[in-house]
Structure 1
Amino acid sequence: MSLDWIYFAISWILLLWHQAWDAIGVPDGAVLGTNWAWILAIIFLVVTVRVILFPVFVKQIKSQRAMQALQPQVKALQEKHKGDRETLQKEMMELYRKEKANPLMGCLPMFLQIPVFLGLFHVLRRLNPDKGETGKTLYGWTVEQFDSASVAKLFTAPIAGKFGSSAEELARLDADGTTVKIMAGILVLVMMGTTYLTSRQMILKTGWAEDPQQRMIQRLMLYGIPASLLISGAIFPIGVIIYWVTNNMFTLAQQQWVLRKFPPPPNVTKSGTTTTSARGAAQPAKSGGLFGRGKTTPPAATKPAAPKVAGPKPGAKPTNPKKGQSASPKKSRPAKRQG
């Protein structure tokens, strides 16, 4: 299956934004060792993609809320079919179908961005100044645009360079190997950190899933993907890493806004468990202080109601409680002996 349509689409958006920034006066030449028109074109490629995918992102949040609301029922099914994995999976799929919850929706926005990432990766990899005129005009580029992008830099490091660039590739890009490695290394670390923060932000707000498969996906998103970037980041062009970091920053801001607009259900804690029983009775809650993590605080004790005193019957004389009190007995003096 040919992916040329993706490469044409990515190139068209990238060149459109570059022309827009060039038209409003952003210098195409290097300022502080950076060709800002091309850097901003990559950043606003992210903005374009995220605006297009925003409705999918909102559906992702709503689906996660639906999954979260179903956690008590999922836990009950796990207890009911403990040891019978096949029946458990059938019952859970039936529950998800009935409640219109999709467990895979949480990963959908990321999967939809993979073609964009691969398209940009391919386009930047072909920015070789030594290409012939035919290669330079591929995917709708002009020769001038191709030559301009081929020498575009971020703080003197070419956007087509990467941490693992060979000496031959660096020579073609007229780049210093140490500068490229330092800039690429810093960006890879930032990419790993922001990728971790995007997953952590979502898990802190929605809690860990009760479903083992969902929890495994959450752990993969939180730890597995950032760790894998330490190795794979060495083959990413600097322009692709700029795209990834910008995408993560956009995700952090977007998630913060959406999570405020669609907050987690009030009866679900950060650990993903309900804090109220089926009848609504209050349960002991976990205290969240620095030293109180994991401790449970009992509910506040209620004072017993004071007993009601019955009033006098109709027609009865009011009694004075003071008169009814017996006087303190006087001490008896010993009788005098006669005689």
Structure 2
Amino acid sequence: MFSLDWIYYAISWILLTWHSAWDAIGVPVDAVIGTNWAWILAIVFLVVTVRVILFPVFVKQIKSQRAMQALQPKVKELQEKHKGDRETLQKEMMELYRKEKANPLMGCLPMFLQIPVFLGLFHVLRRLDPAKINKTLYGWTVEQFDSASSAKLFTAPIAGKFGSTADELARLGANGTTVKVIAGILVLVMMGTTYLTSRQMILKTGWAEDPQQKMVQRLMLYGIPLSLLVSGAIFPIGVIIYWVTNNLFTLGQQQWVLRKYPPPPTPGRTGVKSNSPVQPAKTAGLFGRKAAPAPVKQAPATPKVAGPKPGAKPVNPKKSGPAKRQG
């Protein structure tokens, strides 16, 4: 049977290394404002470590997305050519992707590669139960295990979750209401930042014309954030901290990449016609704020001619002849 122990050991080693580093530079071990910051920062910098390792993959993802955008005119031609013949269309599109060395699924690769990290952290934090007998598993010492088990974020233990039972909360020495409030807020933040990471990219690149690509975009934009509303109840608070931090890192990284390597112009964005079938975003900015409309210049009003005074005979310039000479 395939073992994931190597992932658990790797995640534990990174966490413990960062915790030791923050402890060495003087971050308080005891709770400050109800928070053990050394453990919180260890989780945050676990994200930084993973994202630095995956940065080359992220660059490949951006290049793949640019390649897919460049292929959109050819995809449109194939859709028109094989309209109604879905099987042939799929074969032709796969051949096009193979020939041009483009991968429609490359956009999801960084997320897929982070799944083992997420599962590893989930497993490691779920074990932070003071009642556990084997506390030295995955390279932990008893002291480190006890310290992490009692680590809190605003008095809510990082091993606690929204759906924690009364027995679990009692072993962690936590208040059920506090855990639910902190976990609930973090789940909402997790959903919001997950939505924004997908929206940010779509606002810059537009909706794809390819049905497969568009389906993936919709899944990323709506499906995953909504699924977190349910699955977030079983995530330990430490895992949600990891997810939110990862989303914030993604937002910053995408913003930097999109500014440094902007996508090709799309119709309606620059006023220049383009053959790309990618639909431009209707809004601008991360939160979709609309640009202020340009002021409309109005034609100068035609001066009005004053009418005759009441009781006066109207003057018709067409009928009036030349003035008579006075002799």
- TM-score (norm: length of structure 1): 0.80
Identity, % of aligned positions: 85
Across the aligned residues of Structure 1 and Structure 2, the Cα RMSD in angstroms comes to 1.9
Preserved contact between residue 204 and residue 270 of structure 1 (Cα < 8 Å): no
Q: CA deviation at 1:261?
A: 1.4
The amino acid across from 1:136 in the alignment is K
Equivalent positions of 1:5-24 (< 5 A) are 5-24=6-25
The amino acid across from 2:116 in the alignment is P
Q: CA deviation at 1:262?
A: 1.2
Aligned to 1:37: 38
Preserved contact between residue 12 and residue 124 of structure 2 (Cα < 8 Å): yes
Q: Does 1:28 align with 2:29?
A: yes
Aligned to 2:250: 251
Residues 23-50 of structure 1: per-residue CA shift (max 9 Å, x gap): 0000111001000000000000000000
The amino acid across from 2:200 in the alignment is Q
Unaligned runs of 5+ in 2: 277-281, 285-289, 294-327
Change (3 A) 1:81 1:291: farther
Equivalent positions of 1:139-218 (< 5 A) are 139-218=138-217
Q: Does 1:241 align with 2:240?
A: yes
Preserved contact between residue 186 and residue 241 of structure 2 (Cα < 8 Å): yes
The amino acid across from 2:206 in the alignment is G
Aligned to 2:90: 89
Aligned to 2:273: 275
Number of aligned residues: 281
Residues 273-312 of structure 1: per-residue CA shift (max 9 Å, x gap): x93359xxxxxxx9996798xxxxxxxxxxxxxxxxxxxx
Matches of 2:126 and 2:85 in 1, distance apart? 50
Change (3 A) 1:270 1:190: farther
The amino acid across from 1:125 in the alignment is R
Question: What's the secondary structure of 2:17's corresponding residue?
Answer: helix
The amino acid across from 2:22 in the alignment is W
The amino acid across from 1:241 in the alignment is I
Q: CA deviation at 1:270?
A: 7.7
Aligned to 1:116: 117
Aligned to 1:70: 71
The amino acid across from 1:247 in the alignment is N
Change (3 A) 1:16 1:102: same
Preserved contact between residue 191 and residue 245 of structure 1 (Cα < 8 Å): yes
Aligned to 1:303: none
Matches of 2:30 and 2:168 in 1, distance apart? 22
Matches of 1:112 and 1:287 in 2, distance apart? 31
Matches of 1:213 and 1:62 in 2, distance apart? 18
Q: CA deviation at 1:53?
A: 0.2
Change (3 A) 1:157 1:84: same
Aligned to 2:61: 60
Question: What's the secondary structure of 1:41's corresponding residue?
Answer: helix
Task: Decide which moves more: 214-223 or 86-95.
Answer: 86-95
Q: Which has the larger radius of gyration?
A: 1
Matches of 1:195 and 1:22 in 2, distance apart? 31
Change (3 A) 1:269 1:204: farther
Preserved contact between residue 156 and residue 174 of structure 2 (Cα < 8 Å): yes
Q: CA deviation at 1:169?
A: 0.3
Preserved contact between residue 194 and residue 249 of structure 1 (Cα < 8 Å): yes
The amino acid across from 1:217 in the alignment is V
The amino acid across from 1:251 in the alignment is T
Change (3 A) 1:228 1:161: same
Preserved contact between residue 207 and residue 270 of structure 1 (Cα < 8 Å): no
The amino acid across from 2:7 in the alignment is I
Question: What's the secondary structure of 1:136's corresponding residue?
Answer: coil
Aligned to 2:5: 4
The amino acid across from 1:2 in the alignment is S
Matches of 1:214 and 1:172 in 2, distance apart? 47
Change (3 A) 1:256 1:287: closer
Preserved contact between residue 197 and residue 251 of structure 2 (Cα < 8 Å): yes
Change (3 A) 1:287 1:13: closer
Change (3 A) 1:16 1:80: same
Matches of 1:174 and 1:269 in 2, distance apart? 58
- TM-score (norm: length of structure 2): 0.83
Preserved contact between residue 160 and residue 237 of structure 2 (Cα < 8 Å): yes
